[in-house]
Chain A
Amino acid sequence: MMTLNDDQRMLQDTVRPLMADDGSIKAQLRHWRDKGCKDGFGHRLWKQFAELGLTGICIPEAAGGLGLGAVEAGVVLEEIGRNLTPSPFLTTAVAAVRALESSGQAERWFPGILTGDTVAALAIDEGRRHGPAGIACHAVRSGNGFALSGVKQFVVHGGSADVLLVAARTGGSAGETDGLTLFAVPRDATGMTVENLSLVDSSKAARLMLDKVEVDADAVVGEVDGGWAPLSRALGAGRAGAAAELVGVASGAAELTFDYLKQRKQFGRLIGEFQALQHRAAHLYGEIEIARAAALKAAQLLDAGDPKAELMVSVAKAKAGRVAALAVQEGVQMHGGIGMTDEHDIGLYMKREAVLGELFGGTTFHTARVAELSGY
């Protein structure tokens, strides 16, 4: 059934007011942005997430987490998106946890994630485009472990992370999924330079320079040369989560806009009376509903371990990205001049969409993937 069950609704009822109040644009995004915070998010809110169990949402119950899945993570992320709440929830509690689960590194990092003390970041992209199979960053055997060299970029929360999950090549060549290995690299590893950068939406991402970074053999997540498996788990959860967050961003932008259409007067009439705007608003509403259903379907298939999950995750990421882009563009346009000001929130939605749309692969990447997975 593609409706939320009672437990999922309860989770939504808990998270919705939390994000709308403590996680609001004023309390979080603008607050930390205007303070020039180096993390781009508030640790107090992240601790609140931990107290509610949310940092352990995807951690198995046996390890002290809630043991929930992509659907529940999506419920939380939609509210995060709606309020542009900055937090390491998607990177740490969803994607990194999925990478680490059932590996030896889980024991080391899960306790800190559960308490809200640990932030984890994924270091995958190496150029301006997402394309994990093309990873060239390499790791060679050295002493008891490995030495990693290469560059990484768009490492979201990389500057704040206690552990960086670095995908590197231990075999094969660029373009192959075999021969990749995922390493859990502690932040203080020697040879790693972290350049912490502000992105367009005031979130933080890092560029990493890895110059023979020494890690122990037990830093390997999963198997040597078998990094594609944990990486795929992380990317599946991360992409589905980003899709849900994009649906939230689209909904938040659309709600602001629909309200504005009912308040703003020109020519002696509310602008929402104009059919030219009504039809565009109605079209946008429908598109957001389609994206929401696609994101839910993708999450359900992921949780069920369905072989079609990969296809639907790409559908959801591509669709939610396109729809969120439409929502923020229509949002700014329908707000007119006020939409161009920093004072108004609608522009913040536009900036967030740009980053989330690109994260874990943009619309064209995932559209091409739909073709590939469908055999054409």
Chain B
Amino acid sequence: MADLDTFRAQTGAWLEANCPAEMRKPMRSEKDACWGGRKWEFQSSAQKQWLEVMAAKGWTVPDWPKNYGGGGLSAAEAKVLKEEMAALGARSPLTSFGISMLGPALLKYGREDQKKRFLNEIARGEIRWCQGYSEPGAGSDLAGLQTKAENKGDHYVVNGQKVWTSYADLADWIFCLVRTSTETKHGGISFLLFDMESPGVKTRPILLISGNSPFCETFFDDVKVPKDQVVGEVNKGWDVAKYLLGHEREMISGMGLGHGSLTLGGSVGEIDDPNLKAEIAAFDVDALAFAAMSERFLDQLKAGDAHPAFPSVMKYAGTELNKRRHELIMAAGGSDALEWDSERSHGGKAPRDWLRTKANSIEGGTSEIQLGIVAKHILRLPGA
């Protein structure tokens, strides 16, 4: 305990000395989050500086081992760091699918050379990843994917199409599920890593109902991929895919927490409608209770006590909550919240954010898929 107190004091002092003032302000737009990678343009010198000093300490990924670019912190120390950053209002120095999704999968299933190379690049913010999972014919039934990788001796040739590839147009590399065998559905999938600049890769952004295009269609036309870029065993990629999905769901469930420590009722301005106020208060009860479960889940995860299917509980609850939050923000905003591109509305932030949240309960496995997983793996209901 005394050691942890010392660590807290030192961490607090270090953050105070090293976190630029600008990085202590709340994020206002998506670009305020630093995603890193070859194509990243820093929004400010402070954003760049913050990434560099944190990466040098290994604190972009505080609980990864030091030799892979992490901070080597214990679960308790990582929690202290998070709390001290929150106390200062410090932004996360780096946000990436490498950190939240691929990294954990590589730590568990990657070869030593893959870990050394990719984890270090991820930790320093030098590589931005996208996720090649869904296909036009494989949505909820993900294992029905058809993108194939043909064995050509020392390399694979990949052909097919992915969809809902988040930020594929901005990514450097892709982690991609491909079919290497058609003998069995789940047993013919491999987990492949490759460069998005490889010849034969094309991306096309998809215009969404929010008017934004965070997702792409991604096409593969005879893409050559060296064989040593398979993660785990060939035809056993489904295990890697599922493990990664657990982390993706955990990440998405974080949306249930909203931003900062304010309650919804405390952040939407004056609520002049008593019925709306009651609905918002009911929401805040659910949101604060969800935050408690989220904290407990992370503690259980670090202690190795969490049920492997629990991310599905978190993902379902967190995303349904976030959708409700934005319904209520719209209701609180009244006709102000309907303006689509005026300056007053910050370019229609409220309605665009509201529409974006509708994907929360679809991406990473729909709410219905999550409920099915809970019914089968936790409740052990028959035939589920």
Is B284's CB under 8 angstroms from A374's CB? yes
Is B299's CB under 8 angstroms from A1's CB? yes
- Chain B: interface size category: 35 or more
CB of B300 within 8 Å of the partner chain: yes
CB of A283 within 8 Å of the partner chain: yes
Partner of B313 from A269, A272, A285 at Cβ < 8 Å: A285
Is A261's CB under 8 angstroms from B381's CB? yes
Is B374's CB under 8 angstroms from A296's CB? no
Is B371's CB under 8 angstroms from A282's CB? yes
Which residues of B326-383 are within 8 A (CB) of A? Answer: 368, 370-372, 374-375, 378-383
Instruction: Give the residues in chain A near B201, CB-CB below 8 Å.
Output: none
Is A270's CB under 8 angstroms from B282's CB? no
Is A286's CB under 8 angstroms from B313's CB? yes
Instruction: Give the residues in chain A near B303, CB-CB below 8 Å.
Output: 1, 3
A contact residues, total (Cβ < 8 Å): 45
Is A282's CB under 8 angstroms from B293's CB? no
CB of B69 within 8 Å of the partner chain: no
Instruction: Give the residues in chain A near B290, CB-CB below 8 Å.
Output: 290
CB of A370 within 8 Å of the partner chain: yes
CB of B289 within 8 Å of the partner chain: yes
CB 8 Å contact bits of B245-287 with A (1 = contact, 0 = none): 0000000000000000001011000010000011011101110
CB of A297 within 8 Å of the partner chain: yes
CB of A294 within 8 Å of the partner chain: yes
Is A262's CB under 8 angstroms from B382's CB? yes
- Measured CB to CB, the nearest residue on chain B to A298 is B292
CB of B19 within 8 Å of the partner chain: no
Is A374's CB under 8 angstroms from B384's CB? no
Instruction: Give the residues in chain B near A294, CB-CB below 8 Å.
Output: 288-289, 292-293
CB of A102 within 8 Å of the partner chain: no
Partner of B382 from A270, A315, A364 at Cβ < 8 Å: A270
- In whole angstroms, what is the CA distance A262 to B382 when docked? 7
CB of B305 within 8 Å of the partner chain: yes
CB of A93 within 8 Å of the partner chain: no
- In whole angstroms, what is the CA distance A297 to B293 when docked? 9
- In whole angstroms, what is the CA distance A278 to B378 when docked? 11
Instruction: Give the residues in chain B near A180, CB-CB below 8 Å.
Output: none
Partner of A293 from B265, B284, B296, B384 at Cβ < 8 Å: B296
CB 8 Å contact bits of A267-305 with B (1 = contact, 0 = none): 001101101011101110111011111101100000000
Is B381's CB under 8 angstroms from A290's CB? no
Is B285's CB under 8 angstroms from A319's CB? yes
Is B284's CB under 8 angstroms from A370's CB? yes
Which chain B residues have a beta carbon within 8 Å of chain A's beta carbons? Answer: 76, 263, 265-266, 271, 277-278, 280-282, 284-286, 288-290, 292-293, 295-297, 299-300, 303, 305, 313, 316-317, 368, 370-372, 374-375, 378-384
What are 22 A-to-B residue pairs whose CB atoms are below 8 Å? A1-B303, A2-B299, A270-B382, A273-B381, A278-B372, A285-B379, A286-B313, A287-B317, A290-B293, A293-B289, A293-B297, A296-B296, A315-B285, A319-B289, A322-B285, A364-B278, A370-B281, A370-B288, A374-B266, A374-B284, A376-B263, A376-B271
**3 smallest beta-carbon distances between A and B, as pairs:** A282-B374, A294-B289, A293-B293
